[in-house]
């Protein structure tokens, strides 16, 4: 393993500890700023973020579910998937959801890439999303949350704000609808929830959200986005 890749992996695991600390803070998770990702949102709301799409099988039912509950989410889109399904990207935007940049091809570990490749990945996704939707994303999430000083610098150079998460049900592993639902149901005000609509079979994610979203609303929680829209 190369030195750069080893360092990126160490940073990746280090952020597990950072997220755990943010999740169990007595106060609310940090809102981020210059050179540091946002782990939380302001006010008494939670934020639902959705990564790795759009996907023709899982994005439409998720959009239908969000529309039924009048919830706005943030979709971190992969550029080459937007190129394949521009109509789905337009549908996400037309529904009022926030569009975020999740790189062009979702390479991992992202922090191990040479800086010019990191910048090209971010710029490529930005161009594809803008071409498909007319919307210029303002938010970036590194693939798998693989941050480094260089990745944060590349994010800032392109005028984007870095966004991480607080609540991670590991739905990409397909651990079962019950386990995903249990993790999401623990969400508290100020936290950012991570889910996926691409990268594989996401039927468990859609089923878990169908169960959890009404529960969170019944608890009096409202939904916002890291961009501050509610």
Question: Which residues are catalytically annotated?
Answer: 51, 196
> What's the DSSP call for residue 189?
T
Angle (CA) 198-68-142 rounded to 5° is 30
Q: Pairing mode, if any, of strands 222-224 and 192-196?
A: unpaired
Rounded to whole angstroms, the maximal C-alpha distance in the chain is 50
Tell me the C-alpha distance between 146 and 151, whole Å. Answer: 8
Tokens encoding 202: 């996401």
Tell me the C-alpha distance between 172 and 169, whole Å. Answer: 8
Phi, psi of 65 (to 5 degrees): -65, -45
Tell me the C-alpha distance between 183 and 52, whole Å. Answer: 20
Q: Which of 65, 77, 83, 67 is nearest to 103 (CA)?
A: 77
Phi, psi of 7 (to 5 degrees): -65, -40
Tokens encoding 18: 């950072």
Locate tokens 């971190």: which residue? 76
Tell me the C-alpha distance between 13 and 9, whole Å. Answer: 6
Q: Check: CB of residue 171 under 8 Å from CB of residue 208.
A: yes
């Amino acid at each position: 393993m190369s030195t750069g890749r080893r360092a990126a992996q160490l940073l990746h695991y280090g952020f597990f500890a950072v997220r755990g600390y943010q999740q169990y803070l007595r106060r609310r998770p940090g809102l981020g700023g210059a050179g540091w990702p946002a782990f939380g949102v302001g006010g008494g709301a939670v934020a639902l973020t959705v990564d790795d799409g759009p996907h023709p099988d899982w994005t439409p039912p998720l959009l239908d579910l969000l529309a039924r509950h009048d919830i706005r989410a943030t979709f971190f889109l992969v550029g080459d998937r937007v190129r394949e399904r521009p109509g789905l990207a337009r549908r996400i935007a037309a529904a009022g959801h926030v569009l975020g940049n999740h790189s062009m091809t979702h390479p991992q570990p992202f922090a191990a890439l040479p800086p010019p490749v990191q910048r090209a990945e971010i710029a490529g996704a930005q161009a594809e999303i803008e071409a498909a939707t007319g919307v210029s994303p303002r938010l970036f999430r590194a693939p798998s949350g693989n941050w480094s000083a260089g990745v944060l610098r590349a994010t800032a150079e392109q005028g984007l704000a870095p966004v991480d998460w607080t609540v991670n049900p590991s739905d990409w592993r397909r651990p079962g609808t019950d386990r995903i639902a249990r993790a999401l149901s623990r969400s508290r005000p100020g936290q950012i929830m991570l889910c996926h609509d691409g990268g594989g079979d996401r039927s468990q994610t859609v089923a878990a959200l169908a169960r959890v979203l009404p529960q969170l609303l019944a608890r009096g929680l409202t939904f916002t986005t890291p961009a501050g829209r509610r």
